[in-house]
């Protein structure tokens, strides 16, 4: 008597298509631009100079993105769905045009910072607005689509940047991003529901914001510092700042994460930790193209696509995973996700060789795809668990927006840790590959423990603010099959 899952056709039907395009488009442009600029930087430096600022493009963008994601719930309270989205697309457009018009590297970095603020706001809104833009039964499908945008962005960003760089037209790539932002922003008032706004100015959690910003900055800088010990020290500083952030949030009334996160017995903290460890694994893609070129002799284009296989597995498997509605099935998918991710890295590490033959490269691809599928089968259900962790609308928006914060911070941490592990290999590319893959296998295996803790408590029921469109909170009981709406 379990209710049938809502279909993709319903999510992408006329009633919801406009809102879905806006939400998914906002997350996608933010994800694409993480690596779009990085793949064009050699061409940019050759044109406008500034090689000494090379590594700061990614750092400034990620720090700005994290800051913006932490303020999403406050923008929603002040401006509502429509106003917050218009602001996000406008800021992203201004940042993109500033990048396109840059004549020096410092000007480009300012543009990247503004672009990151818009991207962070749009990424957080993509998850937070699902609660009001879609009925409860479509939350899993909606979250699957939003999180798939990260995987698609990781795949499209380098390819698109490389294409524009190939023809020396890097400025046009930023113009294209601005045009997409304008197109999405133009339809926002017509397709998004207008949520309630509050004239009261919600206080900003300054201390929490400063601690998270400092942690993100520390780990981002650690990722570009020379020497393994220096990078390790930067990561340790960042971890200490994160600990300080958690201790402060537990005592403070002004929080970035909802109050439920720190409540005794609440699984929400484990949900966020599991999401973070899954997103952490994607950072391995930063060095996979390097291993493909140096160990397997792949040409740059083929190595680039090889590096995006984890993201491809993440995106593709969410299509099937989001169909699951039985509570037992959902729990199993969440538990299996970190297992597949860790085993994928372990197997990939065992398969590393000098002068890899082509038949072994052919095995690499499905192994990495399986690792990415571990993210895809668990991510949408963990996202819904975070969104449905509280019936309070304000806390629900805060919990949903925090998904983007956790994802972005974990990517930054993962990139820095990957750099440290690769440096441990010294001049041996084979050793570097093994350190990275085995190290990531161990770290991502921690998610097996956090996933079990996240599913230990029963799944929360739907928000009381959406009784007419919600699924039954206990779908396995035959007495409540009527929770679906048509």
**CATH label of the domain that carries residue 165:** 1.20.1250.20
How confident is the model at residue 209, as a pLDDT? 84
CA dihedral of 356, 359, 362, 364, whole degrees rounded to 10: -40
Q: Are 49 and 104 in contact (CB under 8 A)?
A: yes
Q: In this structure, are 290 and 434 located in the same domain?
A: yes
Question: What's this model's pTM, rounded to 2 decimal places?
Answer: 0.79
Residue 230 belongs to a domain: yes
Q: In this structure, are 274 and 334 located in the same domain?
A: yes
Q: Are 317 and 376 in contact (CB under 8 A)?
A: yes
Q: In this structure, are 362 and 308 located in the same domain?
A: yes
DSSP 118: H
For the stretch 237-267, pLDDT in tens is 989 999 999 899 888 877 888 888 888 888 8
Q: Are 97 and 178 in contact (CB under 8 A)?
A: yes
- Please give the residue range of the domain that contains residue 95: 1-198
Q: In this structure, are 163 and 279 located in the same domain?
A: no
Residue 326 belongs to a domain: yes
Residue 221 belongs to a domain: yes
Q: In this structure, are 89 and 41 located in the same domain?
A: yes
How confident is the model at residue 4, as a pLDDT? 52
Residue 70 belongs to a domain: yes
Q: In this structure, are 114 and 192 located in the same domain?
A: yes
Report d(CA 349, CA 357) in Å as an integer. 16
Report d(CA 303, CA 168) in Å as an integer. 21
Degrees to nearest 5, angle at CA 417 with 443 and 370: 50
Residue 129 belongs to a domain: yes
Nearest to 384 by CA among 342, 324, 299, 426: 324
Map residue 464 onto helix, strand or coil. Answer: coil
Q: In this structure, are 153 and 182 located in the same domain?
A: yes
Low-confidence ranges of the chain (pLDDT < 50): 1-2, 199, 458-486
Q: In this structure, are 241 and 189 located in the same domain?
A: no
How confident is the model at residue 467, as a pLDDT? 38
How confident is the model at residue 185, as a pLDDT? 92
Map residue 227 onto helix, strand or coil. Answer: coil
How confident is the model at residue 482, as a pLDDT? 36
Residue 486 belongs to a domain: no
Q: In this structure, are 356 and 424 located in the same domain?
A: yes
> Quick one: tokens of 411?
């990517």
Map residue 468 onto helix, strand or coil. Answer: coil
For the stretch 85-123, pLDDT in tens is 999 999 999 999 999 999 999 999 999 999 999 999 999
Span between the terminal Cα atoms of the chain, in Å: 17
CA 429 to chain centre: 29
Residue 8 belongs to a domain: yes
How confident is the model at residue 1, as a pLDDT? 43
Report d(CA 127, CA 132) in Å as an integer. 10
Q: In this structure, are 174 and 25 located in the same domain?
A: yes
**Helices 72-100, 105-128: crossing angle, 10 deg rounding:** 150
Q: In this structure, are 107 and 51 located in the same domain?
A: yes
How confident is the model at residue 5, as a pLDDT? 57
What is the total residue count of the chain?
486
Task: State the residue for tokens 């994802």.
Answer: 407
Q: In this structure, are 29 and 153 located in the same domain?
A: yes
- The number of folded domains in the chain is 3
How confident is the model at residue 25, as a pLDDT? 92
> Quick one: tokens of 204?
């900003």
List Cα–Cα distances, 475 to 126, 326, 335, 388, 445, in angstroms. Answer: 27, 7, 20, 15, 30
List Cα–Cα distances, 403 to 26, 134, 276, 413, in angstroms. Answer: 15, 17, 9, 15
Residue 233 belongs to a domain: yes
């Amino acid at each position: 008597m379990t209710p049938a899952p809502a279909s993709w056709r319903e999510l992408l039907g006329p009633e919801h298509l406009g809102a879905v395009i806006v939400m998914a488009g906002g997350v996608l442009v933010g994800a694409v631009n993480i690596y779009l600029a990085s793949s064009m930087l050699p061409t940019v430096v050759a044109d406008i100079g500034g090689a000494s600022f090379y590594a700061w493009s990614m750092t400034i963008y990620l720090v700005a993105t994290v800051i913006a994601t932490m303020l999403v719930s406050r923008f929603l309270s002040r401006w509502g769905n429509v106003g917050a989205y218009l602001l996000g697309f406008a800021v992203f457009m201004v940042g993109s045009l500033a990048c396109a018009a840059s004549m020096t590297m410092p000007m480009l970095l300012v543009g990247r910072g503004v672009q990151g603020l818009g991207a962070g706001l749009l990424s957080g809104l993509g998850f937070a607005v699902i609660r009001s833009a879609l009925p409860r039964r479509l939350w899993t499908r909606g979250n699957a689509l939003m999180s798939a945008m990260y995987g698609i962005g990781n795949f499209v960003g380098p390819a698109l940047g490389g294409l524009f760089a190939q023809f020396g037209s890097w400025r046009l790539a930023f113009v294209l991003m601005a045009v997409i932002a304008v197109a999405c922003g133009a339809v926002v008032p017509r397709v998004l529901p207008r949520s309630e706004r509050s004239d009261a100015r919600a206080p900003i959690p300054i201390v929490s914001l400063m601690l998270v910003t400092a942690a993100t900055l520390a780990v981002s800088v650690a990722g570009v510092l020379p020497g393994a010990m220096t990078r390790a020290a930067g990561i340790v500083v960042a971890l200490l700042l994160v600990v300080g952030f958690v201790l402060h949030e537990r005592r403070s009334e002004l929080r970035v994460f909802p109050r439920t996160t720190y409540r005794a017995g609440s699984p929400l903290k484990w949900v966020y930790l599991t999401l973070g460890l899954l997103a952490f694994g994607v950072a391995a893609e930063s060095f996979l193209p390097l291993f493909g070129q140096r160990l397997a002799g792949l040409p740059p284009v083929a190595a680039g696509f090889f590096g995006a296989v984890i993201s491809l597995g993440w995106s593709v498997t969410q299509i099937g995973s989001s169909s699951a509605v039985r509570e037992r099935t959902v729990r199993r998918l969440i538990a299996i996700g970190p297992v597949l991710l860790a085993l994928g890295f372990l197997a990939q590490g065992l398969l590393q060789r000098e002068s890899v033959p082509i038949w072994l490269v052919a095995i690499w691809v499905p192994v990495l795809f399986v690792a990415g599928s571990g993210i895809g089968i668990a991510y949408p259900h963990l996202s819904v668990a975070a969104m449905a962790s509280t019936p309070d609308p304000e806390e629900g928006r805060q919990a949903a927006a925090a998904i983007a914060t956790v994802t972005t911070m974990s990517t930054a941490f993962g990139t820095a840790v990957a750099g440290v592990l690769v440096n441990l290999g010294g001049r041996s590319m084979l050793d570097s590959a093994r350190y990275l893959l085995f190290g990531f296998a161990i770290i991502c295996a921690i998610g097996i423990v956090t996933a079990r803790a996240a599913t230990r408590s029963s799944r929360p029921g739907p928000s009381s603010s959406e009784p007419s469109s919600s699924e039954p909170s206990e779908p396995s009981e035959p007495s409540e099959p009527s929770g679906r709406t048509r």
